[in-house]
Structure 1
Amino acid sequence: MVNFVPLSFEEHKRLRLATSYGVALGDGLGMVSVVPTEIPALITSYPLFFRRSPATGRYELGAMLGFEAEENLFLSDDGWDASYVPLTLRRAPFAVQQSASSPDRNSLMIDLDSPRLSLATGDVLFFSDGRPSERLQAIVDALEALVKGAGIGRDYVDVLDALGLIEPVDVRIDLGNGVTHNPPGLFTIAQSRLTDLPDAALTDLHRRGYLGWVYQQAASVGQIANLILRKNRARASRVA
């Protein structure tokens, strides 16, 4: 359950925010939603796939963190074991809500039931004079990037879908000793279709700034090998 309320200095000035990541903090996720503007940073660590949103049925871009629904192979004793943390995780437990009276304005909301919040330890949200802390400002920046990226993301998947560049993919992971994984509901770039696109379509993708993302996303599937290494390392540590 979530309990989002508008963030207020007077109401929430004593709250502190966890400085790390962990399963107990809600980070045990096998895949997280991301936006296309993150692709250049994401491909250094994560396989990227499309999946269908259960809420809208539309395609959305996601970064795979593990092979099971609640398996995050990037969590470590020190927090997050990768150079880039997806925006969706960096902004937790905050969100934005569009103002009903002023559609161009957003309200900053905080989930008071989040395990990331405490009165005892963590980063402060506000300085004593009411100014947002550096941590809170970083979260606001992440949310702004998400809001902007979400609009771009909707157009990105619509354009690719219209060109037939999204296709289902059967990802079968064999870890040996009879251990296999087959994450369901994944879609990827249709590379054969991409190769056959007419010049006009390729030019349009380039003009929109999408062509580079398409190639980067297609190549990111190779990061599954990175996840397999992480998975086997985790299995070995449990046996030792």
Structure 2
Amino acid sequence: MNAHALLDSNTHRALRVRTDASADLGDAVMTALAMPTEFRQVQAHYPIVFRRDLTTGSFSALALFGFETGENLFLADGRWDAAFRPLAHRVTPFLIGAAAAADGAAQVHIDLAHPRVTMAADGSGIALFDVDGRPTPLLESIAQDLGDLDGAYKNSMGFFAALERHDLLEPFTLEVPLADGSKHSLVGFHIIAEDRLRSLDASDLGALHADDHLMPIFMAMASISQFSALVSRRNARLAHG
């Protein structure tokens, strides 16, 4: 159960947040939201896939960490085994909240029930405020990330609208060959439809480029090469039990 609260230096002066990685800290996840503005960094480590929300009908982009619910093949001995994590995952357990006034700045909220949040007397985790109530470098970094994430999310609407307008997403199924001879099927996601992208005329391609959509499209296409590395991670886990 969530317990979201507006972060306050008086009320939450003693809070600390753990920054290591483990299943117990909420990192056992198959996917994380990925913003088009970070596709260049994401594609260097993870496949980028797209999923349609069955309720709203809208698409979102996801960095893929595993092949089934609860599987994260980038968790290794209390650390995240990749040099980059998507913003949406990196900011956990923090959230951005609406400003108190219409023209005010957005506010930092925190999920007090999240396993990363602690008030441990042994000093585990990193403090959010110093003894005088000033934000620590960790909290300043989180506030920057939240602002970047909020801006990237708002800007992504045009990107997904362009993908749908040009019919550039197609469903796909991946057969994952496992070291024990079995196969696992990955279904329910979409990828960029390369043939349809190639068929666009110069005017449409120019419009995508002018709107800064063409580069993230290419990055999403390039990310598909990461599937083989992800399969290798899965097979390595099977080999080591």
Q: Same fold (TM over 0.5)?
A: yes
Q: CA deviation digits over 1:176-201, x for unaligned, max 9?
A: 43422222210010100000001001
Structure-1 separation of matches of 2:3 and 2:186: 31
Structure-2 separation of matches of 1:26 and 1:147: 22
Structure-2 separation of matches of 1:6 and 1:100: 11
Aligned AA (1:214): I
Task: Point out where structure 1 has 5 or more consecutive residues left out of the alignment.
Answer: none
Among 137, 140, 165, the alignment partner of 2:168 is 165
Cα drift, residue 57 of structure 1: 2.6
Aligned AA (2:185): N
Count of residues in Structure 1 that have an aligned counterpart in Structure 2: 238
Cα drift, residue 80 of structure 1: 0.3
Residue 52 of structure 2: aligned partner: 52
Among 209, 234, 237, the alignment partner of 1:234 is 237
Cα drift, residue 13 of structure 1: 0.8
Q: CA deviation digits over 1:47-72, x for unaligned, max 9?
A: 00110135533100100000001100
Matches within 5 A, 1:75-224: 75-99=75-99, 101-102=101-102, 105-120=105-120, 121-224=124-227
CA contact (8 A) 2:31 2:63 kept: yes
CA contact (8 A) 2:179 2:235 kept: no
CA contact (8 A) 2:53 2:59 kept: yes
Cα 1:185–1:210 shift into 2, 3 Å: same
CA contact (8 A) 2:33 2:89 kept: no
Report SS of the residue matched to 1:172. strand
Aligned AA (1:79): R
Report SS of the residue matched to 1:40. helix
Structure-1 separation of matches of 2:103 and 2:61: 25
Compute the TM-score of the two structures, normalised by the length of structure 1.
0.95
Structure-2 separation of matches of 1:99 and 1:39: 28
Structure-2 separation of matches of 1:194 and 1:6: 44
Cα drift, residue 174 of structure 1: 1.4
Structure-1 separation of matches of 2:56 and 2:100: 21
Aligned AA (1:186): F
Compute the TM-score of the two structures, normalised by the length of structure 2.
0.94
Aligned AA (1:164): D
Percent identity over paired residues: 33
Report SS of the residue matched to 1:182. strand
Task: Point out where structure 2 has 5 or more consecutive residues left out of the alignment.
Answer: none
Residue 35 of structure 2: aligned partner: 35
Report SS of the residue matched to 1:160. helix
Aligned AA (2:15): L
Structure-2 separation of matches of 1:54 and 1:21: 31
Structure-2 separation of matches of 1:57 and 1:73: 29
Structure-2 separation of matches of 1:48 and 1:101: 37
Structure-2 separation of matches of 1:103 and 1:34: 28
CA contact (8 A) 2:178 2:235 kept: yes
Q: CA deviation digits over 1:194-218, x for unaligned, max 9?
A: 0000100100111111111111111
**Is 1:23–2:23 an aligned residue pair?**
yes
Cα 1:56–1:100 shift into 2, 3 Å: farther
Cα 1:55–1:194 shift into 2, 3 Å: same
Structure-1 separation of matches of 2:8 and 2:55: 30
Report SS of the residue matched to 1:9. coil
Report SS of the residue matched to 1:169. strand
